Amino acid sequence: MIGYTPGSTIVHRLDPRGKLAVQLAFAIAAFAHTTPRGLAALTILALAIARLASVSVVRAILSVRVLAPFLIAAPLVAAIRLSPPAIDPSAAFQPALASYRVLLVFVVAAAYVHTTAVRESRAAIQRTIPSRPGVLLGVGVSLVFRFLPVLRRELTTVRAASAARLGTERPLVDRIRRLVVVGVNRSFTRADRLSAALSARCFAWNPTLPQLSFTRLDIPVFATAIGLLAAAVFV
Amino acid sequence: MATNTESVDLVGDETVANIARAALFAALMGAFAYVSFPNPLAAGVPITLQVLGVFLAGIMLGPVWGAIAMVLYLVAGAIGAPVFSGGAAGIGHLIASPTLGFLWSYPIAAAAVGLVVHRGVGLTEYKSASTPTLVGAMVLGTAIIYALGTVGFAAIQYDPWYASLGQAFVVSSLPFIPVEAVKIAAAVGIVKSDAIAAA
């Protein structure tokens, strides 16, 4: 599992907006150059970024293992021909490159997730998206981070309690209904308590944000992003 | 700290309640990513509750706040909350994953379900919606999710994308569509029962 891990790498100290720019530019470059040469160059860059952020490439790829059936099936299905010869390996080449490209983008994204605290991401969102939509997104996203573990634990408890009472023997629709009803009820109860607490604490459209400022360290980050975009457009 | 010296601009009570609900619903969507049920039709394709979360967001929060809840879910996942299927995170899911079409379709599908159930952008009493309306809304939502999911899959995996829509549909959508009926049935049961306390 990839999540934010406090650390002192150079990537931890960078501005989150620069890191977001690099991820977007990296994806655009990977889509523009889905060739063996282009992907080889991007592989070197992705490994360098992972190294600088001290994030494990293996863990980054394992964290998206649920996508493996799609990434493997796409080239396989492309290779199947209805008329003989039944298998055409050359048709699988391009979809296989596309699958590999996805993994590269995930490695770069994992470097961001590993090195960026929620409050920094929130500040980046609120400084990039102006006025009320930005505040709404920033507040909402930090609440999601706060409540996800709570709700996850509650659902696990409910499932365990249901299984202990032979709930697993019930029909599927009934099992889903029971679990979701408890999940939704608890979420709405928490939401009501939360909104009372937010109002009581003067929840405002113009709160104080943590400071973000670009430093000299961020210059190479933006240079990388611009370089990747230029490579996508001109090369 | 960047101190703000202007006067405090308080958020209205109704908006606070809506923000809290949307955020909690987005977190619930994330928690649903960890729950899977065995599939009676195909053992290798587990049933997750994400799509059910999209339906219920549109039905219970309405088209506007339901869609906002889905956007919060996507943005939280993009910056690192482990909310995507299998507990994954990262902006890669929204810009490069073969399943990006499904994710981007969630706010649109939640808005569409909400528009049909509430007959407009306002919020009405969803429990009074008829069963055909609820089912129709969710069938429309399912169609939106799988149409965008298929196009997204083709766009990421195949070149040119429009020539491979059939292949993309077979790999990305076909195995998952039959169990959507189970989720629609469960959603109707949830909405029609009196078990949901807060309306």
> Could you tell me the residue ranges of all domains in chain A?
16-116+216-234, 134-200
Least confident of A63-77, A152-166, A214-228: A63-77
Rounded distance, CA B49 to CA B35, Å? 7
When CB atoms are compared, the residue of A78, A144, A184 closest to B30 is: A144
Look at residue A209 in the predicted model and tell me its pLDDT.
73
pLDDT above 90 coverage of chain B, percent: 49
**Residues A128-134, mean pLDDT to the nearest whole number:** 85
Lowest mean pLDDT among A79-88, A198-207, B124-133, B178-187: A79-88
Peptide bond into B160 cis (omega under 30): yes
Residue B114 identity: G
Instruction: Tell me what percent of the residues of chain A surpass a pLDDT of 90.
Output: 48
One-letter-per-residue 3-state SS of chain A: CCCCCCCCCCCCCCCHHHHHHHHHHHHHHHHHCCCHHHHHHHHHHHHHHHHHCCCCHHHHHHCCHHHHHHHHHHHHHHHECCCCCCECHHHHHHHHHHHHHHHHHHHHHHHHHHHCCHHHHHHHHHHHCCHHHHHHHHHHHHHHHHHHHHHHHHHHHHHHHHHHCCHHHCCHHHHHHHHHHHHHHHHHHHHHHHHHHHHHCCCECCCCECCCCCCCCHHHHHHHHHHHHHHHHHC
Position B94 scores a pLDDT of 92
B1, pLDDT greater than 80 = no
pLDDT(B20) > 90: yes
| Nearest residue, CB atoms, A110 vs list B11, B85, B90 | B90
Q: What distance in Å separates residue B167's CA from the closest CA in chain A?
A: 7
Mark which residues 105-164 of A lie under 8 Å from B by CB: 105-106, 108-110, 112-113, 116, 118, 121, 125, 136-137, 139-141, 143-148, 150-152, 154-156, 159
- Is the pLDDT assigned to residue B142 strictly greater than 90? yes
Residue-level pLDDT at B2 = 57
The listed CATH number (3.30.450.20, 3.40.35.10, 1.10.1760.20, 1.10.357.10) that belongs to domain B15-192: 1.10.1760.20
Of A141-155, B25-39, B108-122, B166-180, the one with minimum mean pLDDT is B166-180
Please name which of B168, B179, B65, B158 lies closest in space to residue B113, comparing C-alpha atoms: B65
A87 vs B78, residue with greater confidence: B78
Q: Measured between beta carbons, which residues in chain A are less than 8 angstroms from residue B1?
A: 208, 210-211
Cβ–Cβ below 8 Å for B23 and A191:
yes
Q: What is the pLDDT of residue A203?
A: 84
What gap in Å lies between CA A7 and CA B42, rounded to an integer? 44
- Note the pLDDT of residue A45: 95
